[in-house]
Amino acid sequence: MTEKIKNIIEFVCQKDFESFKKSLFLTISERIEEALSEKHNQVSSSILEQNPDQAKASAELTKANAEKQALFVDPMMAKEFFLFDVEYKGHTITIKSLGTGIGKPVISYIDDQQFEVFADKDVAKKESMQAVDKMIKRGLTNLEYLRKTDEQIKQIEKEAIEKKKEAEKAAKASEKPKK
């Protein structure tokens, strides 16, 4: 007698009918699954024995379909797929789709820095070109500053100049000989 059957009998003796039902159901389910799996293996092996060439072709087709699904189905949209890139006024604009399928978002990169996410590749290209124009107009090299207002940029530049002056004063002070 197997351990599972002994447990079932003990549950009946203890009048624990809930545990009895669960254990019995689980045991029956496992046995049915084993029987179906065994029957499936028997049928599969008999098909392979009857026509090995067809079985090999079927296996190759299944493998090809799995690879195709891996390429075209990305429900988590975790993969970026290159669409195109454009040289525009000395900057490279790259457009990639995020995932696959209808309505997939696209991501725009300017000089390998992520710029923005758009709903359409044409809009992404147009907006990215406008962003490059804005960068050139402002004299910016870093995409990070593009998202800031003119006042914020002036404040950042002012702080950078002040830090530079403080560093120069500290350098001069350390160069003076002590008496």
Based on the domain organization, do 102 and 158 belong to the same domain? yes
DSSP class of residue 147?
A: G
Is residue 177 domain-resident? no
pLDDT above 90 for 129: yes
What does pTM read for this prediction?
A: 0.44
Based on the domain organization, do 87 and 157 belong to the same domain? yes
Nearest to 125 by CA among 84, 170, 176: 84
How many C-beta neighbours within 10 Å does residue 94 have?
A: 21
Is the CB of residue 11 less than 8 Å from the CB of residue 20? yes
pLDDT above 80 for 108: yes
Based on the domain organization, do 98 and 155 belong to the same domain? yes
pLDDT above 50 for 59: yes
The residue among 47, 72, 97 that closes a domain is 72
Domain limits for position 127: 80-163
Based on the domain organization, do 91 and 153 belong to the same domain? yes
Is residue 171 domain-resident? no
Give the number of domains in the chain: 2
DSSP class of residue 100?
A: S
What's the average model confidence in pLDDT over 138-150?
70
Nearest to 105 by CA among 84, 134, 80, 128: 80
**pLDDT-based confidence at residue 70 (cuts at 50, 70, 90):** very low
Based on the domain organization, do 3 and 64 belong to the same domain? yes
Is residue 173 domain-resident? no
| Burial of 169: CB neighbours in 10 Å, binned 0-12, 13-18, 19+ | exposed
**pLDDT-based confidence at residue 123 (cuts at 50, 70, 90):** very high
pLDDT above 60 for 77: no
Based on the domain organization, do 62 and 100 belong to the same domain? no
Say which residue, 168 or 153, is predicted with more confidence. 168
Based on the domain organization, do 57 and 101 belong to the same domain? no
**pLDDT-based confidence at residue 154 (cuts at 50, 70, 90):** confident
The residue among 72, 97, 119 that closes a domain is 72
Based on the domain organization, do 93 and 38 belong to the same domain? no
Based on the domain organization, do 5 and 21 belong to the same domain? yes
Say which residue, 5 or 108, is predicted with more confidence. 108
